[in-house]
Amino acid sequence: MAAMNVNIKDLTASLLGILQKVRKYVFIIIVLLVISAYAFLLWRINTLADQNPSEDAVTAKLRGLTLPKIDQNAITKIQQLQDHSVQVQALFQQARDNPFQE
C-alpha cells in the first residue's frame, strides 16, 4: 500500500494561492449568482403562472359547488316594497344603473 504524503503546509499554501487568484473575481461571481437566482425565479413564476388546471380538477371543483337558493317569499316581499315606495323604486333603479356606486 503506497502511503500518500500530504503536507498540510503545502496544502494551505496552494489554497491561499488559489484564493488570491479568485479574490479578483469575487464581485463578478456574486453578481452572476444573484442574476442567475433572479432569472430562475422569473422562469419559475412564468411556468407556474401559465399552468392551467386539468379538466378533471375543474369538474371536481364544480361538483363541490352548491348554488345558493333564493327564497321566493323574499323576492315577492322586495317586489311589493319596490312597487309601493317611490324611494325604494329610485334606489333599485339607481342600483341597476350603477351597481358599484355606494
Over the stretch 6-44, which tens digit does the pLDDT of each residue have? Answer: 678 788 888 888 888 888 888 999 999 999 999 999 999
User: Considering the domain boundaries, does residue 3 fall inside one?
Assistant: no
pTM of the model: 0.41
Same domain? For 41 and 67 the reply is no
- Report the C-alpha gap between 96 and 89 in whole angstroms: 11
- For residue 13, give its domain range: 8-51
CB 55 within 8 A of CB 62: no
Query: pLDDT tens-digit profile of 37-87?
Result: 999 999 999 999 888 888 888 888 888 888 788 888 988 888 887 777 666
> Greatest CA span in the chain, whole angstroms?
108
**Beta-sheet strands, E only, within the chain:** none
CB 101 within 8 A of CB 94: yes
- Report the C-alpha gap between 37 and 71 in whole angstroms: 56
Same domain? For 66 and 46 the reply is no
User: Considering the domain boundaries, does residue 1 fall inside one?
Assistant: no
User: Considering the domain boundaries, does residue 2 fall inside one?
Assistant: no
